Amino acid sequence: MAEKTLRYVYEGRLERPRPSLRKNGDNAGHSFNDEAIDLRERHHGIIEIESKVPIRDHHILNMLYLPPAALAPSYAAREDPNQVFELTSKGNLVGIITDGSAVLGLGDIGPQAAMPVMEGKAALFRSLAGVEAFPICLAERDPDEIVKRAVAISPSLGGINLEDIAAPRCFEIEEKLKAALDMPVFHDDQHGTAIVVLAAMLNAAKLIRRDLSELSIVVNGAGSAGMAVTKLLAKSGVKDVILCDRTGAIYAGRKESMSRYKDEIAQTTNLQGKQGSIADVLVGADVFIGLSAPNTLTTEIRAHVQNLRPSRFTTRQPQRFVLMLSAFRGMASSLSPVARTLNEVTHRSAGAPDCPKTIRYADRDLIAGR
């Protein structure tokens, strides 16, 4: 530790520099996984806290920390609490809160193993939006305790981003935090996924000159992403949308494997009350959106998806799980056909370099309708 401290004082860095695996631009024999680990080892993580105002003399030290001058901002914030947004980083600081129970296709890996993914999310906030963010990985699973801890640290934050928390706990946590706090509470796995899927569907509908209200959509996976996507599609004008889980289609009155959240969504979706397996409700559908766990598409379901009218395109998640998002003869993407990608960039954590939770266009020929 003494050596690191001296190195920082005299050289401005804690660690001795060493070359990366991609030295001289050559990465032969190294996988993305190797490079991801090497990158973090060399930097000991990918985020840091740095003062915006370097302390180079006693005058700055007095302004920032030593009384009486350094106490003036605290007096101002005490007199007018809103001043804390102007005088501190609170207004531009997001807490990325997770319990590590549903991490990017890795599942329940716990809060400590989730830290690299949360660091990656923090880096995206800063790099792409100029928003400061910090990982808060909690060794807690009880929703009330998670809410209590988030509320307790909320005076330091301007917003909360819930990340990789398993359903249905994530719904309860989000609801209680929104009720308890006067600040934005965003659940990335719900809201981020829903927004990008809706963007895809809007573009696909424009390309084929059909309205969202005319489409028949089947969503597989009743977790946080599936629930949010289904709700947003319904609110955006889709009249025929069916959400499926492991048991099959969710409909009003179903008794098996239901919850309060499934009961609620059953009241506003699957208005025809269709029952049966995913394969059953796919008959006659225009679109299939796969947001379930890996390896759930049976041969029968894949056959139905392949035959959806008149075309399809795919998405993928970690573990190479191929998800089918069938969307006619067009590419449901807001990006260039050359790029062939609709990328929910806030899901592309540096913690999982080769496993982006994205919608990725898979077939160039579909651009031309072939």
List the catalytic residues. Answer: 65, 121
Q: Cis (ω within 30 of 0) for the bond into 68? A: yes
The CA–CA distances, whole Å, from 308 to 50, 178, 288, 315 equal: 53, 40, 8, 16
Widest distance between CA atoms in the chain: 74
Amino acid letter, 164: D
H/E element holding 324? Answer: strand 321-325
Q: Residue 328: CA atoms inside 13 Å, Cβ hemisphere, count? A: 21
DSSP alpha helix (H) spans, the chain: 2-11, 32-43, 58-64, 72-79, 84-87, 110-113, 115-129, 143-153, 169-180, 193-207, 224-235, 260-266, 278-282, 299-306
Torsion of CA 94, 100, 101, 103, to 10 degrees: 80
Backbone angles phi, psi at 28, to 5 degrees: -60, 130
Nearest CA-CA partner of 166 in 110, 230, 250: 110
Q: Count Cβ atoms below 10 Å from residue 242 Cβ, excluding itself.
A: 24
What is the C-alpha to C-alpha distance for residues 352 and 317, in angstroms, rounded to an integer?
11
Terminal-residue alpha carbon distance, the chain: 63
Query: Rounded to the nearest 5 degrees, what angle is found at the Cα of 168, between the Cα atoms of 164 and 170?
Result: 40
